[in-house]
């Protein structure tokens, strides 16, 4: 498996992946909110972006949600949420303004468990800034519209492109596998009631099928 993780990405594959990346990425204009909600991931830049928004006064509290998944079980010793929280505490964000949900293993659970946590705290939200990796923003929006539709969400992410997505734990080959899997979930999850349906442009679907045929399939639903 290790040699697969180190596979060289060709220029053609990169072009196909860029088509998918651009479709998956969105950013709303953001305003002050009751909470910054962060479904966590392997990328600590998302935690840093949450800290930046907190310092800028967009919300008083940050909720990190995430246990471990296919990617992060090899990166973080305990949970994504704890790793994200500890990272921004080291950046001088007050611990008392950070909340942690560390049992979820997917986006649906991020939403469900976080809603239950806020309810148990009797903390009511009407406007929330939800942040994720750029390539997860569309999927997050569609899931929230289905599963948390009584709250207004501003969807946002740090501003980086596909070639800037890799970091010390995740290389470009794995990033391509990840976005292929995320697109497949946008196609399949509406049938399961996990998110609202959206139209997939033809060029995006062609790019998806081409990358799957080239064995970018590590993150596909089994």
Q: Lowest-confidence range among 52-61, 67-76, 102-111, 209-218?
A: 67-76
102: nearest Cα among 143, 68, 136: 68
Q: Which CA distances in Å does 214 have to 4, 22, 163?
A: 12, 20, 19
pLDDT at 2 over 60: no
Each domain of the chain, given as residue ranges in start order, spans 2-24+162-213, 35-156
pLDDT at 4 over 50: no
User: pLDDT tens-digit profile of 147-169?
Assistant: 999 999 999 999 999 999 999 88
Residue 200's Cβ-count burial label (10 Å; 0-12, 13-18, 19+) is: middle
Phi, psi for residue 37 in degrees, rounded to 5: -105, 125
Average pLDDT, the chain: 94
Q: Which CA distances in Å does 53 have to 31, 48, 132, 216?
A: 10, 9, 13, 34
Q: What pLDDT score was predicted for residue 5?
A: 65
Q: Which CATH class is domain 35-156?
A: alpha beta
CA distance 50 to 46: 6
User: pLDDT tens-digit profile of 81-107?
Assistant: 999 999 999 999 999 999 999 999 889
């Amino acid at each position: 498996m290790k040699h697969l993780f180190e596979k060289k990405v060709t220029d053609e594959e990169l072009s196909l992946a860029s088509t998918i990346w651009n479709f998956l990425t969105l950013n709303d204009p953001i305003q002050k909110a009751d909470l910054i909600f962060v479904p966590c991931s392997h990328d600590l830049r998302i935690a840093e972006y949450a800290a930046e928004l907190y310092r800028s006064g967009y919300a008083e509290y940050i909720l990190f949600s995430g246990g471990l998944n296919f990617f992060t079980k090899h990166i973080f010793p305990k949970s994504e949420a704890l790793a994200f929280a500890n990272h921004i505490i080291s950046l001088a964000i007050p611990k008392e303004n950070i909340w942690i949900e560390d049992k979820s293993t997917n986006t649906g659970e991020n939403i469900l468990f976080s809603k239950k946590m806020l309810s148990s705290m009797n903390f009511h939200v009407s406007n929330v800034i939800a942040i994720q990796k750029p390539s997860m923003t569309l999927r997050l929006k569609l899931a929230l519209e289905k599963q948390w539709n009584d709250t207004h969400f501003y969807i946002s992410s740090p501003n980086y492109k596909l070639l800037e997505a890799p970091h010390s734990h995740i290389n470009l080959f794995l990033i391509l596998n990840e976005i292929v899997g995320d697109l497949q979930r946008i196609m399949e999850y509406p049938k399961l009631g996990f998110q609202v349906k959206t139209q997939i442009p033809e060029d995006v679907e062609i790019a998806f099928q081409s990358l799957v045929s080239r064995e970018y399939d590590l993150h596909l639903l089994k």
